[in-house]
């Protein structure tokens, strides 16, 4: 059993815990495919969604996941809450705790914010992305998508190309995939590679060709225009030409390779439109896997809350 109050980062999870999350996510997916969207694992529980940054996929899939499990769901947009009046994160957490919330699902621009919240509230905290740090449920849904295609993650070559420096998805995938036996190769302009990521196990490549050669998974990452400082690369057109993935480069990957992207995509920048819409693309499967993974995370955290009552 996942013995945790919170799910904050894959850096904290063991291989066994990740395997359990993926197994339960597989079960949840079977429920969804069978049209079973009124489960009762979280009946009588409340989940509050607290997003300090924009989102389409993560926010909606957490909401659907909690509702499909039978929870009551509250949505708080930071701009319309007392945060806008200067309330601190810890005080917001205490307020939500006093209302007997069972789960707080938070996205925040500051890395580490969910750790602070988790330490100060009784509710279970789920990190829906914290700054440039981690996005654990995104990496779990990415791993579920890979596992469904390949059967296992052991020995896979996963090539990640794009804005790695600003990417919480890259870090969570690096932590999770290595624990599950995959190898993570990375390629980006030097200015978009975080210092020391090779010390965490990433295999840094000196060309797109080296990254893509015999890859099982080709994962593009969004160029995060909102987090760029001037000068990381000359222009989006030049990024696309010299660092993006096109159909010709894709042919270097294994015949059974798949294309992934966490979204939102800058179409024609990190991946060409043809690559995004390619028959090997699993981008829409990733979105569907997202609901199942978030159902699994909520169910397992709830099981532990019940067990420790």
Q: Which residue numbers are catalytic? A: 57-58, 85, 107, 135
Distances (CA, A) of 175 to 95, 105, 133, 138, 181: 33, 21, 11, 12, 11
Query: Which has the closest alpha carbon to 58: 136, 165, 170?
Result: 136
Is residue 227 a contact point for ligand CP (CB under 6 A)?
Answer: no
Query: What letter does residue 271 receive in the DSSP assignment?
Result: B
Residues of span 49-68 touching ligand CP by CB under 6 A: 55-58
76 closest CA partner among 47, 56, 57, 51: 51
Q: Please tell me the total number of residues recorded for the chain in this structure.
A: 309
Q: Of 117 and 260, which CB lies nearer to ligand CP in the complex structure? A: 260
How many whole angstroms separate alpha carbon 272 and alpha carbon 307?
48
When the beta carbons of 153 and 169 are compared against ligand CP, the nearer one is 169
129 binds ligand CP (CB under 6 A): yes
Residue 131 in the binding site for ligand CP (CB under 6 A):
no
Contact call for residue 9 and ligand CP (CB under 6 A): no
Q: Which is nearer to ligand CP, 108 or 135 (CB)?
A: 135
93 contacts ligand CP (rule: CB under 6 A): no
Site string for ligand CP, 242-271 (x = CB under 6 A): --------------------xxx-------
Q: Rule CB under 6 A: is residue 220 a binding residue for ligand CP?
A: no
Minimum CB–partner distance for residue 206 and ligand CP (Å): 28
Residue 214 CB: number of other CB atoms within 10 A?
11
SS3 41: coil
Of 101, 127, 138, 302, the one binding ligand CP (CB under 6 A) is 138
The answer to whether 71 and 298 have CB atoms below 8 angstroms apart is: yes
- Closest distance between ligand CP and the C-beta of residue 207, in Å? 27
Helices (H) and strands (E) in the chain, counts: 11, 9
Q: Which helix (H) or strand (E) holds 306?
A: helix 283-307
Binding site for ligand CP (CB under 6 A): 55-58, 129, 135, 138, 262-264
């Amino acid at each position: 059993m996942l013995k945790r109050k919170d799910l904050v980062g894959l850096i904290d999870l063991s291989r066994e815990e990740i395997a359990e999350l993926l197994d339960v996510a597989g079960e949840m997916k079977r429920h969804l495919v069978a049209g079973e969207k009124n489960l009762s694992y979280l009946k009588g529980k409340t989940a509050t969604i607290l997003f300090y940054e924009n989102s389409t996929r993560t926010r909606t899939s957490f909401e659907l996941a909690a509702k499909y499990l039978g929870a009551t769901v509250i949505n708080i947009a930071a701009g319309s809450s007392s945060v806008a009046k200067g309330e601190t994160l810890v005080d917001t957490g205490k307020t939500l705790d006093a209302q007997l919330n069972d789960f707080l699902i938070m996205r925040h621009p500051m890395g580490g914010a969910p750790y602070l919240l988790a330490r100060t509230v009784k509710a279970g905290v789920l990190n829906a992305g914290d700054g440039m740090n981690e996005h654990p449920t995104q990496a779990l849904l990415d791993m579920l998508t890979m596992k469904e295609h390949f059967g296992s993650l052991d020995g896979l070559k996963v090539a990640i190309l794009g804005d790695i420096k600003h990417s919480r998805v890259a870090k969570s995938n690096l932590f999770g995939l290595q624990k599950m036996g995959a190898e993570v190769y990375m390629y980006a302009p030097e200015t978009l590679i975080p210092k020391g990521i090779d010390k965490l196990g990433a295999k840094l490549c000196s060309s797109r060709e080296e990254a893509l050669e015999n890859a099982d998974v080709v994962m593009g990452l969004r160029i995060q225009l909102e987090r760029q400082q001037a000068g990381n690369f000359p222009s989006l057109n030049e990024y696309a030409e010299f660092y993006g993935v096109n159909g010709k480069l894709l042919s270097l990957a294994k015949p059974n390779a798949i294309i992934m992207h966490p979204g939102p995509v800058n179409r024609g920048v990190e991946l060409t439109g043809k690559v995004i819409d390619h028959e090997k693309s699993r981008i829409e499967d990733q979105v569907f896997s997202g609901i199942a993974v978030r159902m699994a995370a909520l169910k397992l955290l709830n099981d532990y809350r019940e067990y420790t009552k």
